[in-house]
Amino acid sequence: MTLQVGDKAPDFTLLSDQNQLISLNNLIGKKIILYFYPKDNTPGCTQEACDFRDSFAQFASFNTEVIGISKDSPAKHTRFKQKYALPFTLLADETGDICEAYGALDKQSLFGKSFLGIRRSTFLIDENGVIRAIWNKVKINGHIKQVLHELTRL
């Protein structure tokens, strides 16, 4: 089943870059930008993370938490976060179960090999845990502006 605007966001509990368990249900009361990305320290993912970092104060002004999710380990997330001074939480979905629950896994191919990889996706979740906007197959340039625009409408 594909998630739609208006659906309750699937709950999860994942390890963070600080080795703490974070659950979506514990974040109720804040808006959440949940973004799925393929891999730490790759050019596109680094650009996306730095764009969120550079607009972090604007997100905070909307009482909005930014959370990035990939299949990288908590230790990799810690290094990535430190290297680029990222002020938000990164979560490790090493099994890919949460990526799958949010429809962010896609068949991809690289050098003739097929694999299940993360499709760059972003979800705007309101204070009650309801999905208010979905961006699939995100193009990095201009994405932060789109997300901030959507926040102003809530």
Task: Tell me how far apart the alpha carbons of residues 64 and 43 are, in angstroms, rounded to a whole number.
Answer: 25
Rounded to the nearest 5 percent, the helix, strand and coil shares of the chain are: 30, 30, 40
Q: What are phi and psi of 106, to 5 degrees?
A: -145, 150
Tokens of 142: 């201009």
- Angle at the Cα of 87 (from 84 to 90), degrees rounded to 5? 85
Residues tagged active-site: 45
Question: Taking a C-beta distance cutoff of 8 angstroms, is the pair 11, 24 a contact?
Answer: yes
- Residue with tokens 């990288």, as numbered in its chain: 72
